[in-house]
Amino acid sequence: MSEQGDPLVSADWLMTNITAPDVRIVDATWFASWTNPVETGREAWKRGHIPKAVYFDIDEIADTASPYPHMMPDAVKFSSRARKLGLGDGSRIVVYDQNRFFASARAWWMLRVMGHKDVYVLDGGLHAWVSEGGALDDLPTPPGERHFTPRVRSDLIMDARDMEQLVGSARVKIIDARPDGRFFGRDPEPRAELPSGHIPGSINVPGSLLVSEDGRMKSAEELRRLMPDPGAPTVATCGSGVTAAITALALARLGNWDVAVYDGSWTEWASDPSRPIVRGAP
């Protein structure tokens, strides 16, 4: 397996390969605070996870000095955290979650930004695993340190300055994965201090449209109907860089493995009143 074909694996595949010595399993479950979750992602992992799974916390494996949530850390911090989780060179990493790709797609993208190619997402997450008869574990997973060599792909991550240079340019497509009400400025942002609206020139493909009712990602044929020109150079954005990674994952399924994510996304863009914001339908 490599960066071609499908970036997702099935529960059946994982059951067949779970005992392979190079397979590492990661639970990256994350719940947005404004949804008033009954538990944290770490608590969900502790309650029950796929055997061998370690917990990847996007709020801790992050640049915690940034004013914006779960921003990508530098290579030194990331490699240190990955090593302590037993994720490293020569590993085939399978990431899953318990919340419809939140935040398995984000962890998948982060690992790829840091140069790890052999990383995949479990389609349907924990629900698919249980539906196929997979067992759960509630014991901590001894990770065992493994060397992680970062080879940063700066082309896969964008910041506000990069995005400002893209405004008014047709060379890169900007896809915003937020719900359409927030994109068009009809509905408020969950972060009350931010206005809603969108970056000039961006298009709206809500992340919820990419996932089927059973929590699996839609087929390549269905995704092609949703994604205009899926092979074009693309930057994905959303509220804070989590749903945008689902867009990147979906486009990888369609063969475009080079989709960048605007890490700060709307939380960063809209925090500066000097940046242009568009509201209303085109």
Q: Which residues are part of the catalytic machinery?
A: 238
What distance in Å separates the CA atoms of residue 100 and residue 123, rounded to the nearest whole number? 9
| Furthest CA-CA distance within the chain | 53
End-to-end CA distance of the chain, in Å?
41
Q: Which residue(s) pair with 26 in the sheet? A: 54, 95
Give the HSE-up count for residue 119: Cα atoms under 13 Å, Cβ half-sphere. Answer: 24
CA distances from 2 to 5, 33, 170, 237, 244 (A): 8, 35, 30, 25, 22
What distance in Å separates the CA atoms of residue 268 and residue 274, rounded to the nearest whole number? 12
Cβ atoms within 10 Å of 132's Cβ, excluding its own: 13
Handedness of CA 160, 227, 156, 110 (dihedral sign): positive
